[in-house]
Amino acid sequence: MNSVDSPTLANRFIDLIKVLVYICLCFITSFVCAPLLGYLYTHLPSKELYFFAVATFDCGLAMLLMFLFGRCFDKKSFLSYGFSGCTAGGAVREVLVGALVAALMVSTVMLILFLSGSYKVSSLAWSNDLITYLPFLLMAAMREEVIFRGYVLQTLQKSFGSIWAIVISSLLFGFLHLLNFDSKVSLLAQLYSCLCLSIDAGLVFAVAYYVKKRLWFPFGLHVTWNIFEGPVYGTFVSSLTLGKPLVTGQLSGRTLLTGGVFGPEASLIEVAVCLLLVALLWRRTELYGENKPQMNES
């Protein structure tokens, strides 16, 4: 057996170091460029345009670093990280299917919260910020898919195998959202919220990648997930607020049900619904066949 079939501890250590360095460069470079971003904030006409500019910069940086890491360390082309294997029309279809699945998932969670009395709707606002925040949400979702389901997941898969790659990349994805919190939120609440995000969003997006082994489906899931939680239903999205929503509503009650200041992504209801979605998606991947118990023939 070759080293690809039997990865050594050294292979795993090197791949883990590569993904950690890649993630650090993606985030640290953004902080280094803070003066430039601050200049944009004072010169762009709206905060939505500023958010879009920052997200576009961050996404472009993640793509550039993935190209460089792939070329220099992994001998992989940029497109092989989940952008190839289908036509433009096929990519659009996968994005739209992901969008439909996410819309149904988030709507199911909000319906359960509504029926339980944890989500109260007061009005609909036809004049809202959905369109103005859409460009930002598109670029932000693509950036995170490039980082976590593009480079991180696929690099870890080589030496850790698909299952551990899913677990590790999901945890990294979830706990990097510690950067979103206000300092007033307790550390325990932050850790709990990020663990929930690792279990629901992290696992859903990672398994969604394996459905087609492309980024288009999880990208459609990711961006629509954020759109429906924020600009549509008006809840926190990983502790962030995203302007005036379509539905003016309020979450109230036990934090375990509502997710508290982090939003429904830290709700046990959303965790349960997402685990069901993971199970359904898992059956559509080649991993299901590889790990399915085989019955012995008599």
What pLDDT sits at residue 291?
Answer: 66
Q: What is the pLDDT of residue 51?
A: 86
Q: What's residue 2's pLDDT?
A: 42
Task: Name which residue leads in pLDDT, 8 or 5.
Answer: 8
Q: Residue 264 has which token pair?
A: 């429904």
User: Residue 214's Cα: distance from chain center in Å?
Assistant: 14
Highest mean pLDDT among 37-41, 125-129, 253-257: 253-257
- What confidence tens digit (pLDDT) does each residue in 194-213 have? 999 999 999 999 999 999 99
Q: Average pLDDT of 77-94?
A: 96
Read off the pTM. 0.92
Among 280, 282, 14, 263, which residue's Cα sits nearest to residue 158?
14
pLDDT, tens only, 162-193:
999 999 999 999 999 998 888 889 999 999 99
Q: How far is CA 140 from CA 66, 111, 202, 296, in A?
A: 16, 26, 15, 48
pLDDT above 50 for 4:
no
Supply 217's token pair.
């489906």
User: How much is the average pLDDT of 89-109?
Assistant: 98
pLDDT value at position 107? 97
Q: Is the pLDDT of residue 3 over 60?
A: no
Asked if residue 94 has pLDDT above 90, the reply is: yes
Domain ranges of the chain: 9-288
In the numeric block, which tokens belong to residue 116? 């339980």
Residue 176's pLDDT is: 95
